[in-house]
């Protein structure tokens, strides 16, 4: 049959798809397959919110393929066995895919490529999910970067504003048996996801709609508004990027192509956020232990507090008594997403005011975020805890009241997600205890000043032990 197989993972799109373009250029039928093998991602198997997104993204991709005379094929893992079965069914001579960078998956992909090539097949992986491959950016000494700013200065000038690959207008695919999407069991059986549908449109079309909204409404004021959770000042592209429904190259091209040299300056703050995303993968690639262990080895001995289950649940459910923290955690539960500024605030509260290990937060985010991404989830939590790259020193502790008053000055964000406080004036909404409390809303679960001092004491203890040897 001389077929080619395109193995889809987190590249659920048809445009700017190098693996699909290679298969189409080779000629003959093209089989686009998604292989469901979540156990191969252990110990970080996809969480509940990302499974919700995956279901709808696969459905959207299948619809796009059917409009082109094809369809999405779904099989169950193990991945190698599923690919070998497809090769036998179709007589395929080539298998193409886009790279992923998580340690367990890189190891798996390398083994699969070796087996397929050993059997005489073409087996090729392609870049496309990042601006720069993690191994292509190094210090002058040939070492990986551990600080973002010099990484960005080295990486960004190498990025070209290339024309993205067009989606094929037609794809010829053979009729093959497929697992039904519903059989994967990706959607929740208890309907906690009712708030997701109104705010998200998974799929390639949704990704480009989000980019268009950003360009129209937020790009001009991004540098000022990006820290304001009460304003629509961000792109909300992160889940679309995670699932590969849009590529960084498409975004850069949309913002910069034909706009002149000043466009790079005008969009610098936003483009740096794409750089931070790449930096997370750079760290994960070079330091594969960091999803579980601190990048800064001194933190292996940090005296984390033993979690009180009731206090941990109060943080998870947005019942801490600290309004900006509770608003963020409720936004996460309701929508599967949280504004980045608020992510830093709630992470600081967990790791410093409660002094709980950052993994408790990383695991909760992993299960509840639609954009849960191992590289960036790890980087964000280690940064907040003080144990990662580019970490603010541990003693730089976010003051949640001051953060709320600065970045949600009228209290609109808190009012949206914490309706118990909706009637409070702006000068009180971030510290309701100053009014003696509000009926139906909890008192703070921790004293902010005392817990800050306890965190500083714990940090001093760790530093003293590290210095002693």
From the candidates 358, 364, 366, 383, give the one annotated as an active-site residue: 358
Within-domain flag for 262: yes
Domain ends where: 223, 256, 286?
286
- Report the C-alpha gap between 112 and 14 in whole angstroms: 24
- Are residues 455 and 374 part of one domain? yes
Question: Which residues does 453 contact at the CB level (< 8 Å), separation at least 6?
Answer: none
Residues paired with residue 6 on neighbouring β-strands, in sequence order: 32, 96
- Are residues 81 and 98 part of one domain? yes
**pLDDT reported for residue 279:** 97
Is-catalytic flag, 7?
no
- Are residues 23 and 147 part of one domain? no
- Are residues 333 and 210 part of one domain? no
Residue 444 belongs to what domain range?
297-461
H-only helix segments in 236-267: 238-242, 248-256, 262-266
Q: Are 325 and 276 in contact (CB under 8 A)?
A: no
* CATH code where residue 156 lies: 1.25.40.80
Residue of 170, 155, 451, 166 lying closest to 321 (CA atoms): 451
Q: Are 295 and 378 in contact (CB under 8 A)?
A: no
* CATH code where residue 27 lies: 3.40.50.620
Is-catalytic flag, 97?
no
Within-domain flag for 241: yes
- Are residues 270 and 142 part of one domain? yes
Two tokens, residue 398: 């976010």
- Are residues 258 and 148 part of one domain? yes
DSSP 396-425: ----HHHHHHHHSTT-HHHHHH-GGGTTS-
Within-domain flag for 117: yes
Three-class SS of residue 125? strand
Is-catalytic flag, 304?
yes
Q: Are 282 and 290 in contact (CB under 8 A)?
A: no
**pLDDT reported for residue 71:** 97
Residue of 379, 383, 387 lying closest to 134 (CA atoms): 379
Grouped pLDDT means (10 residues each) for the chain, 469 residues: 92 98 97 97 95 98 97 98 97 97 96 98 97 96 95 91 94 96 95 94 98 93 95 97 98 90 88 96 97 93 96 98 98 98 97 97 98 96 90 78 98 98 97 95 97 93 76
Three-class SS of residue 4? strand
Q: Are 92 and 5 in contact (CB under 8 A)?
A: yes
- Report the C-alpha gap between 252 and 237 in whole angstroms: 13
- Are residues 450 and 355 part of one domain? yes
Domain ends where: 232, 263, 286?
286
Q: Are 274 and 248 in contact (CB under 8 A)?
A: yes
**pLDDT reported for residue 445:** 98
Within-domain flag for 198: no
- Are residues 211 and 117 part of one domain? no
**pLDDT reported for residue 125:** 98
Residue 351: count other Cβ atoms within 10 Å of its Cβ.
26
**pLDDT reported for residue 20:** 98
**pLDDT reported for residue 394:** 63
Total domain count, the chain: 3
Domain ends where: 106, 128, 150?
128
- Are residues 324 and 241 part of one domain? no
- Report the C-alpha gap between 100 and 117 in whole angstroms: 19
- Are residues 98 and 151 part of one domain? no
Q: Nearest 5°: CA angle at 13, between 9 and 18? A: 80
From the candidates 41, 124, 268, 273, give the one annotated as an active-site residue: 273
**pLDDT reported for residue 463:** 83
Within-domain flag for 173: no
From the candidates 192, 304, 333, 433, give the one annotated as an active-site residue: 304
Q: Are 102 and 60 in contact (CB under 8 A)?
A: no
From the candidates 52, 152, 276, 383, give the one annotated as an active-site residue: 276
- Are residues 312 and 435 part of one domain? yes
Residues paired with residue 33 on neighbouring β-strands, in sequence order: 7, 73
Three-class SS of residue 74? strand
From the candidates 97, 337, 364, 381, give the one annotated as an active-site residue: 381
- Are residues 308 and 440 part of one domain? yes
Is-catalytic flag, 200?
no
Is-catalytic flag, 53?
no
- Report the C-alpha gap between 343 and 61 in whole angstroms: 30
């Amino acid at each position: 049959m001389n077929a080619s197989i395109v193995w889809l993972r987190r590249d659920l799109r048809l445009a700017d798809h190098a693996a699909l373009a290679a298969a189409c250029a080779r000629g003959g039928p093209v089989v686009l397959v998604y292989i469901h093998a979540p156990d191969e991602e252990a110990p970080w198997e996809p969480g509940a919110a990302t499974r919700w997104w995956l279901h709808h993204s696969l459905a959207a991709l299948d619809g796009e393929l059917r409009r082109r005379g094809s369809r999405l094929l779904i099989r169950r893992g193990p991945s190698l066995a599923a690919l070998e079965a497809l090769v036998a069914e179709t007589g395929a001579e080539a298998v193409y895919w886009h790279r992923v960078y998580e340690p367990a998956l890189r190891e798996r992909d390398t083994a699969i490529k070796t087996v397929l090539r050993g059997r005489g097949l073409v087996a090729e992986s392609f870049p496309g999910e990042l601006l720069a491959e993690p191994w292509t950016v190094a210090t002058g000494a040939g070492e990986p970067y551990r600080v973002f700013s010099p990484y960005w200065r080295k990486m960004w000038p190498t990025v070209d504003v290339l024309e993205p690959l067009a989606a094929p207008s037609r794809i010829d695919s053979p009729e093959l048996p497929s697992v039904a999407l519903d059989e994967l069991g990706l959607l929740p059986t208890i309907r906690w996801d009712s708030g997701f549908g109104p705010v998200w449109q998974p799929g390639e079309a949704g990704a480009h709609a989000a980019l268009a909204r950003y360009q129209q409404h937020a790009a001009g004021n991004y540098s000022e508004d990006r820290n304001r959770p009460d304003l629509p000042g961000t792109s909300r592209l992160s889940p679309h990027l995670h699932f590969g429904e849009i590529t960084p190259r498409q975004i850069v091209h949309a913002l910069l192509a034909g706009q002149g040299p000043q466009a790079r300056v005008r969009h610098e703050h936003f483009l740096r956020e794409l750089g931070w995303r790449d930096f997370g993968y750079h760290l994960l690639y070079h330091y594969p232990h960091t999803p579980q262990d601190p990048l800064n080895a001194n933190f292996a001995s940090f005296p984390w507090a033993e979690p009180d289950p009731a206090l941990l649940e109060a943080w998870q459910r947005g019942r801490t008594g600290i309004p900006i923290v509770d608003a963020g955690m409720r936004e996460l539960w309701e929508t599967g997403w949280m504004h980045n500024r608020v992510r830093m605030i709630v992470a600081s509260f967990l790791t410093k005011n409660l002094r709980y290990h950052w993994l408790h937060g990383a695991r909760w985010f992993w299960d509840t975020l639609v954009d849960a991404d191992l590289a960036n989830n790890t980087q964000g939590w280690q940064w907040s805890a003080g144990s990662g790259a580019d970490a603010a020193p541990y003693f730089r502790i976010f003051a949640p009241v001051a953060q709320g008053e600065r970045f949600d000055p009228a209290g609109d964000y808190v009012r949206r997600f914490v309706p118990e406080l909706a009637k409070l004036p702006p000068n009180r909404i971030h510290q309701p205890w100053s009014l003696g409390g509000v009926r139906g809303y909890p008192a703070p679960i921790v004293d902010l000043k005392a817990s800050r001092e306890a965190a500083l004491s714990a940090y001093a203890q760790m530093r003293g032990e590290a210095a002693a040897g």
